[in-house]
Amino acid sequence: MASNQTAALDIPNVVRNAKDDDIREHFPPVGPLLAKSCRSICTRKQLFKRLPILQWLPSYNLRYLVEDIVAGISVGLTVIPQGIAYAVIANLDPQYGLYSAFMGCFVYCILGSCKDVTIGPTAIMSLMVQVHVANSGVDFAILSAFLTGCTILLLGVLNLGFLVKFISLPVTAGFTSAAAITIASGQVKSLFGLPGKSNEFLEAWINVFEHLHEIRLWDSVLGISTIAVLLVLMQMKTVSAESCWSSVGKFIALARNAIVVIIGTLLAYVLSEAGYSELFLLTGNVTAGLPPLRPPPFTTTLDGQTFSFSDMLSELGSSLITLPLIGILESIAIAKAFSKGKSIDATQEMIALGLSNIAGSFVSSMPVTGSFTRSAVNNNSGVRTPFGGIATGTLVLLALGLLTSTFYYIPKATLAGVIIAAMFFMVEFHTAVEIWRTKRIDIVPMIATLTACLFLGLEFGMLVGVGINVCFILYQTSRPTLATEKHTIDGASVFVVQPDQRLVFSSAEYLKHNVLKHSSKAGAQVVVLDGSHITSIDTTAAKMLVCMTKDLQLQNRAIVFWKWKRATQCTLLRMDRELYQHLFIAAENLDGIIKEISSKRSDL
């Protein structure tokens, strides 16, 4: 019949063609695919894409040199005190933070695609390895850097960066805020000169209250003064641009960490020389010289016990997954923030970050990633190319070679003040307000992530947040919105149901229950299932639609499938061709549906 376009379909051909299309799409010939992949890798374009230094270095303008060096020195003045402080967080000697900083700068200069990003130790990464270092020693931090780098590099090569998309904004905000609170809590003991080594949230505060009677006056004065001075210096960047002091204020704000560390160190040195060496607790000896060049440890000995590679993997546990994910998340987010509208090659950023960690593990580095603070300093200092990283790395090396005796006099209270002041701005109050204003239900995964991170640990907290988000998604997919309409056409009661999303196993039973319930309640003689928004269905949903169709037919109600796409039609036809071959309707409106149904019945 001419009017019945769907009924006129050659069903076997439709099914056969659909299968052929699926096979060609999902299982292309292997040989040509491999050859094409090899050709795409071994090209000059690909080489320049994977080694960005080959793009900017040949065309480097010497006029940029001064700006890059100034920016690199500014970042260096920030990374040196931060590197020492973050090594302390990780329970490492101060030099390990500087080892991590210099190698990250050099490698990213060669492989990085964003001129502003700086790679090095960060507070979150330090916190995530400190438990392993405290329990098992420095070799575990170095091995975790190597394994983190290998994982990130593999994910980059395989283009699996999409995995970080499973970590939503509320979960990220909760994780970052919890990490900031945990880090700041762990530094309270150093701020007041108290004994203790724990950096976990609960244990840190228990330790503080247990040793309240041991608070050291001058450490407390120095630490609190450091925080106050840092907050004041930070406001210097708001000096009016029309003022002659605007450039000076901007520089002071950028170099504030270095300024307070220098002042604190000078104060401690002068007082020590004057015979008041007991006033402040000091950082102590820092190993001088360049970092040792050696492979990462795949076995280690601790307290007479030998740990094999598998034992070390077992000790690192879930951090083997969470460290790479957090590293990727931080680094790519920072690159996007400073890209200024330019597209970011996430694969290249992951390759650069992975190789930075791998190379760092050969110079005793702990895991590194992008630093938002130092990237902001780099950007505000007017860096023009990634060459600024060379200047930063060189300054760090000079500090390791020439200034380690000076590092001895850095007060622990000053470093604690630097860390705590930085953590003030990592607690994402503004994000919580945005989430509450935008969609209040999303505050649940944020609060759950924050709470779990504080009381269970960062790795488990992240898993809790992701798990809650997945539950939200599953619930939404299991409860599609069903738009329903009731019409009377030519004396027939017509009930139209339009799902608003694709049908999967979790929503199948819900759809069947509601269609049967509401069509019966409406006394419908014809049920029209509008597939306008159904882009795909899975096997479970297809089987459930078969059951629903048969149930409606047993109730003497006609059901037709209207506006279904070819792919979804073929799925149902493959499930039960005899049942569905006459149920798809191609009419333009409901009147046409009734006429087509009447025509089919008269033919039968």
Residue 344: pLDDT band by 50, 70, 90 thresholds?
confident
Angle between helix 539-554 and 566-575 (nearest 10): 70
- pLDDT, position 10: 42
Query: Is the separation of the CB atoms in 129 and 95 below 8 Å?
Result: no
Residue 266: pLDDT band by 50, 70, 90 thresholds?
very high
Could you give the CA distance from residue 228 to residue 234 in angstroms, rounded to a whole number? 10
Query: Is the separation of the CB atoms in 345 and 88 below 8 Å?
Result: no
Query: Which amino acid is present at 11?
Result: I
Determine the 3-state secondary structure of 178 from DSSP.
helix
SS (H, E, C) 497-532: EEECCCECHHHHHHHHHHHHHHHHHHCCCEEEEECC
The yes-or-no verdict on residue 231 having pLDDT over 70 is: yes
Question: Could you tell me which residues come within 8 angstroms of residue 281 by beta carbon, excluding any fewer than 6 positions away?
Answer: 190, 193, 216, 219, 411, 412, 413
Q: Pseudo-torsion of CA 91, 94, 99, 101, nearest 10°?
A: 90
- pLDDT, position 340: 67
Which range, of 338-347, 350-359, 429-438, averages the lowest pLDDT? 338-347
- pLDDT, position 460: 81
- pLDDT, position 153: 92
Angle between helix 63-89 and 169-191 (nearest 10): 70
- pLDDT, position 133: 85
- pLDDT, position 248: 75
| Average pLDDT of the segment spanning 529-545 | 89
pLDDT digit string, tens, across residues 117-148 = 889 998 888 888 888 887 788 899 999 999 99
The proportion of the chain whose per-residue pLDDT surpasses 70, expressed as a percent, equals 88
The yes-or-no verdict on residue 338 having pLDDT over 50 is: yes
- pLDDT, position 145: 94
Place of tokens 């009381």: 455
The yes-or-no verdict on residue 110 having pLDDT over 60 is: yes
Burial class (CB in 10 A: 0-12, 13-18, 19+), 556: exposed
- pLDDT, position 239: 60
The proportion of the chain whose per-residue pLDDT surpasses 90, expressed as a percent, equals 13
| Average pLDDT of the segment spanning 387-411 | 86
Look at residues 95, 260, 123 and name the one whose alpha carbon lies nearest to residue 185: 123
Look at residues 464, 459, 467 and name the one whose alpha carbon lies nearest to residue 448: 464
Query: Is the separation of the CB atoms in 309 and 298 below 8 Å?
Result: yes
Could you give the CA distance from residue 150 to residue 362 in angstroms, rounded to a whole number? 13
Q: Which helix (H) or strand (E) holds 376?
A: helix 372-380
Query: Which amino acid is present at 306?
Result: T
| Average pLDDT of the segment spanning 106-121 | 88
* pLDDT, the chain, mean: 82
Q: What number of other Cβ atoms are within 10 A of residue 159's Cβ? A: 10
Which range, of 237-246, 546-555, 590-599, averages the lowest pLDDT? 237-246
The yes-or-no verdict on residue 228 having pLDDT over 90 is: yes
Determine the 3-state secondary structure of 551 from DSSP.
helix
Q: What is the DSSP letter of 286?
A: -
- pLDDT, position 19: 44
Determine the 3-state secondary structure of 160 from DSSP.
coil
Which range, of 29-33, 144-148, 173-177, 347-351, averages the lowest pLDDT? 29-33
| Average pLDDT of the segment spanning 576-587 | 83
pLDDT digit string, tens, across residues 2-42 = 344 333 334 344 444 444 444 444 445 545 544 555 555 56
The yes-or-no verdict on residue 225 having pLDDT over 90 is: yes
- pLDDT, position 267: 92
- pLDDT, position 375: 83
- pLDDT, position 17: 47
pLDDT digit string, tens, across residues 354-383 = 999 999 999 999 999 988 778 877 877 778
Question: Which stretches of 403-538 are DSSP H helices?
Answer: 404-407, 412-424, 429-438, 443-456, 458-478, 505-522
Query: Which amino acid is present at 539?
Result: T
* Structure-token pair, residue 424: 């003030």
pLDDT digit string, tens, across residues 470-527 = 888 888 888 888 888 888 887 788 899 999 888 888 888 898 998 898 888 888 888 9
SS (H, E, C) 287-330: CCCCCCCCCCCCCEEECCEEECHHHHHHHHCCHHHHHHHHHHHH
Q: Whole-model pTM?
A: 0.72
The yes-or-no verdict on residue 170 having pLDDT over 60 is: yes
The yes-or-no verdict on residue 390 having pLDDT over 80 is: yes
* Structure-token pair, residue 412: 């622990």
Q: What is the DSSP letter of 124?
A: H
Q: Phi/psi of residue 119, each to 5°?
A: -105, 135
